[in-house]
A and B are shown apart, each in its own frame.
Chain A
Amino acid sequence: MKKILIVDDEADIIEILQFVLESNGYECITAMDGEAGLKLAREANPDLIILDVMMPKINGYKISRLLKYDNKYKDIPILMITARSQEEDKIIGEETGADEYITKPFNVDFVVEKVKKYLG
């Protein structure tokens, strides 16, 4: 079973994504802040990562950058969830290396579609 890491500081979003992805036959592990997310990404061998941008401790862009510049993890697909807020606008434009961007409010089917594109 393919393993997906969901990193988001919103418990509700995690729950929804987890439900949808699990009912589509994926295994999910979750983290609620950037630090824990980065740790899991490095230690739990996920096949794909769904990352929220604005998060406490380490933001999604940074996590994405850290992983994509590391040969060990650079092949893990990253789906970035963005709310297109002003703070995000400020850090946007930095090279993040994320594979896909999903804008809030998103459609769950769309997310599943994107996940399927990478994991089959």
Chain B
Amino acid sequence: MTKFILVSDNANTEKDLKSVISKFSFEMICLSDEDEIESYINSDNIPLFIFDSESINLDIVSIIRKYKLLIQTKDIRTVVLLPEKNINYDILKYVNSYVTRPINEQLFMSCINTNLNLYETFKTLSKNNNELAKSLYQLNVLYNTSTQLAGSLDKTNLINIMTDGLEQSLSLSLCYALILNEVNDIQLIIKSIFPVSQRLENAIKLRALLNFKNLFSINPLIDDIKIVKHNKDNYGEHDLNILGYDNLFAPVNIKNKFYGIIEVFREQDFVPDDTKCFSTLVKQVSLPLESAILYEEIKDTNIKLEKLERLKSEFISIVSHELRTPLTSINSALDIILKGTTGEVNDAMEKFLNLAKRNVTRLSAIIYDLLDLSRIEAGKMEFRFEKANINLTVELVKNTLENLAKEQNITIESQLDNNLGMVYVDTQRMEQVLTNLISNAIKFTKENGKIEITSKKISKEDIRENPFFDSLPSEMSDEYIQIAVKDNGIGIAKENWNKVFEQFKQIENSLSRKVGGSGLGLPIAKRLMDAHKGFIWLNSEINKGSVFYLAIPLMSEKEIFKLSLEQDIQKAKQDRLNVSLCAFRENIVDGKSFTDKIISDDVIRKNTVYKEYSYTEDNKRYYYVYSVDVDSFVFDFEVRKVDGYIKANATGYEECDIVYSAALYPRDAQTADELLKKVSIFSKEDSDEKNINS
């Protein structure tokens, strides 16, 4: 039966209304004491209040005004009974409807019913509204949580984000997650509003473990579990009664594998929406968890690789230092004895001491070769490329090895073309390659043999048509310098031609043992030629002799400048340095060059090493200069300084008409090409760009 309240101390009113409602199923409570009103409002089961304005002692207007706000928040309907005459209309501002005396039964009942209906409608609406707000909140939490999940690659952090999301969206009392990182790494995360009692903690541990064992085929020990606890407040305590609360449970899956379990508890029962929210959140964590695990694996592999690389470097270092020192001692000791300083050495002793010495020398050669090879393979070989006349290098090596050849009555002849042009090489490494080829020739040539060294220019096509190469790089220089070392020794069978350049694949082991050497010389030579963008090959006939060929790319000054810029940019990339490039163009008047003065006056280079390239064309001088390891601040400063310098000194050089431009790696460009393009401000006029970038 629907209840409503009449606030009145007028017995007539009560009597009148009772007679009206007696025909309907309503219950009316009449309050004549103001103090009782509030408790009825708060009881939440009174939909309607009727205030009697003809109360005798009660000040109805002030009562209505006093409770107006409270009544409104409860969506309670209010009706006021007004007198027939002398109506105080002011009161109507505070109530929903009014009924005037004398009471018309039909009108009164329709007013009551309308208000009761409205109350019900309001109630439903606000309930829907609350649910909507709750859903919206949950959605919001879900969204935030998934954003956070996407931003983390740490497993524990991901689980924490998920449990935080669950706590927020479901207002949980307690939540725990048991996570299996590895068989021996099991973590139990307990999150609750209040601190958890020891009894509850043990119970959760046991419960989690039992749940866990049901899902996983492994049997972790209870002591293996690492517990992490979080609680929001520090007062109060959660005890075993928590386990009687409503709960939700889910396994955490990664792909089709279990990763852990999660269970949540709440004093209030869960509704279907909560369950949906719960399962969505738990599902959402699985993808980022998978990424996190993959990320960890990659990180682990990387750390292992780095460690291996470090071990390798350390090994190389140990080989180089720790082996060389004892070898030095042995070698020196042998020398001292052999010289007779420590006493007379008889023939047999000398023979064996010399044998020992030869082998020490061989051992140190092997160590050098091993070191070189591992440095090249690790990309750690440092090359000092420079402009060079390769014929000079050939002559130098020839002169060094001539004595060795004479010992075996072998003659070395050279026929070198003197108009070859310059190459861009690390001369020391070229010496190494040539030394290897010529000393090989000496080793494998019989007494009274002859070695011939020739050099000449060859074209790209010559190499392309060479049947020795199965494949060639797509980018090749147009011209090469070919150096041939020809002997009339034992020769190499055709099936072994390629093998001689492979490391540790010596042919005819017995022979190479007889002649000494590490057997790594040619593989190193091959790799050194690769580093020079050159080629090495051979032609041979058994018992007639072999010819080893080298092809070194020929380059113009421009190409060499570009190549060195490219190489320095590569180095700068590794060391995180800058490369600054400046270009000038001036009109040459009376043979005076202003750009030369800029360089010689130290405007550009300060203390840095710089490389330059210049050429004159149509009475215009072009000047390119770059330096490494100038930070952008210094660089800007330098450019401004050049600018200032030009302006300050322009009087004498006005007619020179200097144009200049500057660019910085990596700020302005990423490659040598791009950098050169950046500074080619005058490219359109004279196709300079084409020249430098060709």
Contact = CB atoms under 8 A, between A and B. Distances in A.
A70 B325 CA distance: 30
B139 to A, nearest CB: 58
B156 interface: no
A17 B332 CA distance: 9
A10 interface: yes
B329 A83 contact: no
A120 interface: no
Contacts of B331: 105-107
Interface in A1-21: 10, 12-13, 16-17, 19-20
A23 interface: yes
A95 interface: no
A83 B364 contact: no
Contacts of A83: 320-321, 324-325
B332 A20 contact: yes
Contacts of B332: 13, 16-17, 20, 106-108
Contacts of B324: 83, 104-105
Contacts of A13: 325, 328-329, 332
Contacts of A105: 324, 327-328, 331, 360, 364
B335 interface: yes
A86 B335 contact: no
B404 interface: no
Contacts of A19: 336, 341
A86 B364 CA distance: 17
A86 B313 contact: yes
A23 B520 CA distance: 39
B317 interface: yes
Contacts of A16: 329, 332-333, 336
Contacts of A87: 317, 321
Interface in B305-328: 313, 316-317, 320-321, 324-328
A69 B328 CA distance: 31
Contacts, number: 55
A85 B341 CA distance: 32
Interface in B273-324: 313, 316-317, 320-321, 324
A13 B332 CA distance: 9
A23 B325 CA distance: 22
A79 interface: no
Q: Which among A10, A13, A108 has the highest number of chain B CB atoms within 10 Å?
A: A108
A63 B321 CA distance: 20
A80 interface: no
Given A16-B333, A23-B341, A86 B317 contact: yes
Nearest to B329: A12
A84 interface: yes
B364 A107 contact: no
B325 A10 contact: yes
Contacts of A10: 325, 329
Contacts of B317: 85-87
Interface in B321-353: 321, 324-329, 331-333, 335-336, 341
Contacts of B321: 54, 83, 85, 87-88
A83 B360 CA distance: 16
A94 interface: no
Nearest to B335: A108
Q: Which among B320, B333, B360, B364 has the highest number of chain A CB atoms within 10 Å?
A: B320
Contacts of B326: 12
Contacts of A107: 331-332, 335
Contacts of B313: 86
A104 B319 CA distance: 12
A85 B316 CA distance: 8
Interface in A67-99: 83-88
B173 to A, nearest CB: 61
A105 B331 CA distance: 8
A43 interface: no
Nearest to A104: B324
A106 B325 CA distance: 9
A19 B328 CA distance: 14
B325 A109 contact: no
A120 B540 CA distance: 52
A10 B329 CA distance: 9
B328 A104 contact: yes
Nearest to B375: A86
A17 B360 CA distance: 18
Given A16-B333, A23-B341, A85 B320 contact: yes
Interface string A54-71: 100000000000000000
9 contacts: A20-B341, A83-B320, A83-B321, A86-B313, A87-B317, A88-B321, A105-B331, A105-B360, A107-B335
Interface of B: 313, 316-317, 320-321, 324-329, 331-333, 335-336, 341, 360, 364
Interface of A: 10, 12-13, 16-17, 19-20, 23, 54, 83-88, 104-109
| CB-CB nearest 8 A-B residue pairs | A85-B321, A105-B328, A12-B329, A86-B317, A85-B320, A104-B324, A16-B332, A83-B321
